[in-house]
Amino acid sequence: MNSVENFINKFNSAGKTQSITEVFTCGYCYWFAHILHSRFPKSEIMYDPVVNHFVVKYQNRLYDITGDVTEKYDVIPWKDFSGSIERKRIIDHCIEFNK
């Protein structure tokens, strides 16, 4: 098990009331990607526009709260995501929770 998976396992074990996995797969996936990216600065936040899900790319593998999801998502770098209307909607609804 690598350091990202160890971190995810420790993070998951912290959830007591609501499943931490449920929290970070149903609306807060950007924030878990942000946490991973903060913990592993050589990573990159990635986005799957088809399923509206954020993950982190680290050492050519993709991770979310469930662990290694490399084979599950078709992602692009979040920093390169274009389409100003769609990006604004994602920021408003999924990152800043303004709406």
Band of the pLDDT at 13, cuts 50, 70, 90? Answer: low
More confident residue, 42 or 88: 42
pLDDT of 15 higher than 70: no
User: CB–CB of 55/1 below 8 Å?
Assistant: no
The 10s digit of each residue's pLDDT in 41-81 is 999 999 999 999 999 999 999 999 999 999 999 999 999 88
Nearest to 57 by CA among 71, 41, 72, 46: 46
pTM metric for this prediction: 0.80
How many structural domains comprise the chain? 1
- Beta partners for 76? 47
Residue 12, domain extent: 3-95
User: CB–CB of 40/4 below 8 Å?
Assistant: yes
Sheet of 44-48: strand order equals 67-68, 61-64, 53-58, 44-48, 76-77
